[in-house]
Structure 1
């Protein structure tokens, strides 16, 4: 938590004034029992009504002042804590955005969500408590002890016995509860993971009639976290009765021994009443301190989890050399030079010794069986991963010499799984180029063969797309994703198996339209179907992470056994279609 305290710097003055107001509020609260004692000992005992009214007015003023100070202190503390939480969440999100796919896999999406929301909320809550209590608790405790001793030193011996008992009890309970606080955060990650899987995979779950299985899986995780929460609450629930028992026994002892002191003439009634108030303040300040010491270790666990994410240094480092890349105008396109790539911990490379060039104005297609490295190859171009050996070059310059911002602005990318966002159709296409005009959006949609079905929608380009594109078909999602990439007007287009949900006729029309539009750009497509790559200028055949064939369809059908096998396996299906 100390490391995260640096995010409090912008709120130093509000935090300081909050502490000052708490300090003044505490002084006011400490002064009230003395005023009450004076009213009883001087006003009530002597029957001096003017004195009672006068001191009563003072008490009212002090109480009002304490109330105003409490409101101001709480407002400032809440403002500081909320601002801190906002800044840490922003920092967390912006840092996570720099992660490569490796770091996402390392932490896990569900854990990142928990750390960005639940963990930061825990820290935010504790910082607010610290601002409100770190001054009040010690001041009320020390000030209360001083004032109690000033009323009657011998009666204060009751507190010498009560306070250690109170502190020991709290310490024992906190030590028992701490392991459960650590466990519950991990179990929250697990619950979020299952919930996310079930919500995103609801169609698969229903299609395989696995609803009961998933409900049971969620129920087990939910019961696990519930049992841990119950155990924590059982331990913490023992705290209040134990604290109240000690406090009430202390009050009984104070009243008993205080009565004896009054009978002996060593103490006045007003002083006893004030002493009781100070004893209550002392014990409640100990309770406040105990609450802080219980919450701080829990927040420390959350802070450790947040710092773990903030400490992760992404493998893909941005060069920050905006505009300084050396580009060879004679080398336009994408070039792979002896590229090898291995996933962390993998037994063998996913790609081995890949070399080819995708020229501007040409369509380069990549085909191969499942798991041959086609998508991995595309991911090296926008630097979702970096090549282990060799280099990937765009327009003659190594992609590592570009700033990530400039590199990715040069690329129009369509992922294997089409991702759409909540908003209108136009908003989703404009996501690729926020400056795109309505005419450019419509042109991109026409090229992607999406204009017809968009205009058939009730609101046309203003029709709302549901979260994840759940209200349109898979083929429509793919075409909108392609339109989004085309709206970028990029130098390189990467289409990762973006035709799988299209019928053969739409596939053919789309490939023809892409060929016309991308005359000034390099087009690289990954496909499973031969019909998609049939008329490509260059077809690259991958097998087990290696290039086993390169050329046109006519050349490969004669020279590449792997390609011929793929063609033969699809021939009947395509003829029937």
Structure 2
């Protein structure tokens, strides 16, 4: 966020929403965060549900449309890979048949035919063995054909190797598709944020907005990557394996399918009981994070007021609640895998018994039974993955809805197609019957008119919430007027290009903003094309040079993102130097000297006097001593200008300004003693 956009944080009288921030934003698990369990537990963990899954999912998938050729290749490779993998067990079953046939053949007398061996078994009363021999391609007296067995095993190895290579290729293509789609989504969000009006950021908690543009987009990428790959592969595997199972033995396929509804029923019952505990776990996690962040942010105040024990007690209490909720959630949901294994083993036993009986009866070969057991194992795993991926997809779509809410937010009014230009800039600003309110039912500024002449300094004073910062925000078109108009050198600001308008304005705020970089870079932010001499001149004029020379690295001193390696007053000096370097036609100073000491303030007053010369200046001030020399002082109350004039005129009027001046400067002598008010 740019420095001017922070102006509204000073005194903008934005009405609080009913219920506070929690009323605006329901509590939720941070998207992309850990959900408190290993990956296989996805089937038993309720994902955060989207409000409108179908349309949001279609809109998310539509962002993949420009990559449809790559997606077609991904699907083709997945079909080929799964197809080769599904054929593998059948080929290995044939290898088992070769081994089993060789073992049986070596035990039969050489020189006899297979038919004779079958007849001999029936004559001996061993009908089951005879039926099994009749189905086998056995040669009496001949053992295992290792040449044929080697060819079959090499074929199986080739199938699995080819399937792995195709799966790797598919994953490589899919990763590119997903990352390019998310790259485009992230770029769209960034561009959208630059087109959103300042009121949008007023209504959105900063952490919530950051979560949408970082965590939620990361969660979308993760969800798409995993679901598109594993969901596609799992569904294809289920279809392929089920087809092979019915091809080998419809009876055994029905036996295996009995386990599916039983697994779903058990999983659903366990998930229902663990859902409440997972919700409690996520809730307690968020509350604990909030406590920790609050304690760290206010660490100095905690120390000053000696509240360490209370903070530690609150932490341990919430940590205990989180422990109990997490233990219950993990334990109950952890039952899913043992239950699935138990049901899978029951299915395995049933298939083995029925399959063994069919081998003994000669209706199936041993290799087919072995292949079927492998297929039954492969069948349950993708079903669990599908359930897990469905949950993950829900989470991804929920994150997509939050990101789409940003993309669908109402944008600021577009700049005029043919914007006007200020051909003869002097800095004359005029408010003509201006009205503005943040909330429709709460008026703030009503029918305000004033004129700031070129080169004049206009000071704006008044109690907190009077609308002082709002006034300058309206000049910069951070908010749109409800009525009236504001002109700059006779040109309506709504007819100007926003960049052109704001490029003529320099602003120094009470809350300083410095980015991670050198002091030189922070000063040059006001005018990136400035020369070294111009940067040094601005620094000397605003007394930045005085303390920078004492630093080991001078102007190359790197300021961290929090600006913690320079004092508050030094940060303010740097921001004033930045505005000095920009050399704007219109200057806005919002309590710009509040963070400096008295001696530095005197020096800054001199620097800002030079800075304000020959340009119009709006000065928002609480210290009335800083605006005595202003050409015009506006006294505001409840969004209205109740008084205006010079310092002397307003004091003589004995009105609101005089009362504010007295309240600020009167010093109680003692008890009921009279007060001394400086002239």
Report the TM-score, using the length of structure 1 for normalisation.
0.90
Pair 1:477-2:571 in alignment:
yes
Displacement of 1:575 in angstroms is 10
Which of 177, 182, 185 aligns to 1:85? It is 182
Tell me if structure 2 keeps the 8 A contact 1:367–1:541: yes
2:73 is aligned to 17
Which of 63, 67, 75 aligns to 1:7? It is 63
What do you get for the CA RMSD once the two structures are aligned?
A: 3.0
Deviation digits for residues 517-545 of structure 1, max 9, x if unmatched? 34443211111112211112222122232
Mapped to 2, the partners of 1:397 and 1:266 lie a distance apart of 95
Pair 1:310-2:407 in alignment:
yes
Mapped to 2, the partners of 1:438 and 1:545 lie a distance apart of 43
Name the CA shift for 1:19/1:3 in 2 (closer, same or farther; >3 Å).
Answer: same
Which of 457, 465, 488 aligns to 1:394? It is 488
Question: 187-196 or 354-363, which moves further after superposition?
Answer: 187-196
Name the CA shift for 1:402/1:363 in 2 (closer, same or farther; >3 Å).
Answer: same
Mapped to 2, the partners of 1:228 and 1:331 lie a distance apart of 66
Displacement of 1:52 in angstroms is 1.0
Tell me if structure 2 keeps the 8 A contact 1:420–1:469: yes
Alignment gaps of 5+ in structure 1? none
Mapped to 1, the partners of 2:378 and 2:634 lie a distance apart of 79
Displacement of 1:463 in angstroms is 0.7
Name the CA shift for 1:457/1:7 in 2 (closer, same or farther; >3 Å).
Answer: farther
Question: 201-210 or 114-123, which moves further after superposition?
Answer: 201-210
Which of 524, 530, 534 aligns to 1:430? It is 524
Tell me if structure 2 keeps the 8 A contact 1:382–1:407: yes
Name the CA shift for 1:142/1:223 in 2 (closer, same or farther; >3 Å).
Answer: same
Mapped to 2, the partners of 1:217 and 1:340 lie a distance apart of 47
2:651 is aligned to 557
SS class of match (1:469): coil
Question: 300-309 or 416-425, which moves further after superposition?
Answer: 300-309
Tell me if structure 1 keeps the 8 A contact 2:508–2:588: yes
Aligned residue pairs, count: 573
Mapped to 1, the partners of 2:220 and 2:273 lie a distance apart of 21
SS class of match (2:562): helix
Question: 133-142 or 329-338, which moves further after superposition?
Answer: 329-338
SS class of match (2:252): coil
**Which structure shows the bigger proportion of residues in helix conformation?**
1
Question: 227-236 or 155-164, which moves further after superposition?
Answer: 227-236
Q: Which structure has more RCO (C-alpha within 8 Å, separation ≥ 6)?
A: 2
1:58 is aligned to 155
Mapped to 2, the partners of 1:374 and 1:331 lie a distance apart of 23
Question: 497-506 or 565-574, which moves further after superposition?
Answer: 565-574
Which of 409, 415, 430 aligns to 1:335? It is 430
SS class of match (2:169): helix
Mapped to 1, the partners of 2:519 and 2:470 lie a distance apart of 29
Pair 1:452-2:549 in alignment:
no
Mapped to 2, the partners of 1:371 and 1:164 lie a distance apart of 64
Question: 459-468 or 402-411, which moves further after superposition?
Answer: 402-411
Name the CA shift for 1:226/1:401 in 2 (closer, same or farther; >3 Å).
Answer: farther
Name the CA shift for 1:49/1:135 in 2 (closer, same or farther; >3 Å).
Answer: same
Mapped to 1, the partners of 2:431 and 2:405 lie a distance apart of 35
Mapped to 2, the partners of 1:403 and 1:224 lie a distance apart of 55
Pair 1:133-2:227 in alignment:
no
Question: 56-65 or 102-111, which moves further after superposition?
Answer: 102-111
1:361 is aligned to 455
Question: 378-387 or 212-221, which moves further after superposition?
Answer: 212-221
Displacement of 1:193 in angstroms is 5.6
Question: 4-13 or 22-31, which moves further after superposition?
Answer: 4-13
Mapped to 2, the partners of 1:20 and 1:474 lie a distance apart of 62
SS class of match (1:495): strand
Mapped to 2, the partners of 1:121 and 1:500 lie a distance apart of 41
Mapped to 2, the partners of 1:177 and 1:399 lie a distance apart of 59
Mapped to 1, the partners of 2:449 and 2:317 lie a distance apart of 50
Mapped to 2, the partners of 1:187 and 1:386 lie a distance apart of 41
Which of 223, 236, 240 aligns to 1:143? It is 240
Mapped to 2, the partners of 1:97 and 1:228 lie a distance apart of 42
Deviation digits for residues 129-157 of structure 1, max 9, x if unmatched? 22212332222111111111221222222
Tell me if structure 2 keeps the 8 A contact 1:430–1:484: yes
Deviation digits for residues 431-471 of structure 1, max 9, x if unmatched? 22222222222222223222211222121111111222112
Name the CA shift for 1:351/1:429 in 2 (closer, same or farther; >3 Å).
Answer: same
2:208 is aligned to 111
Matches for 1:205-224 after TM superposition, within 5 Å: 205-214=302-311
Mapped to 2, the partners of 1:179 and 1:21 lie a distance apart of 41
Deviation digits for residues 373-431 of structure 1, max 9, x if unmatched? 21222222222222333222223233333333333222212222112222211121222
Pair 1:290-2:387 in alignment:
yes
1:250 is aligned to 347
Displacement of 1:273 in angstroms is 0.7
1:380 is aligned to 474
Tell me if structure 2 keeps the 8 A contact 1:19–1:132: no
Question: 377-386 or 563-572, which moves further after superposition?
Answer: 563-572
SS class of match (1:468): coil
Tell me if structure 1 keeps the 8 A contact 2:224–2:396: no
Pair 1:35-2:131 in alignment:
no
1:281 is aligned to 378
Matches for 1:177-188 after TM superposition, within 5 Å: none
Choose 1 or 2 for highest CA Rg: 2
Tell me if structure 1 keeps the 8 A contact 2:427–2:455: no
1:567 is aligned to 661
Pair 1:533-2:627 in alignment:
yes
Tell me if structure 2 keeps the 8 A contact 1:339–1:391: yes
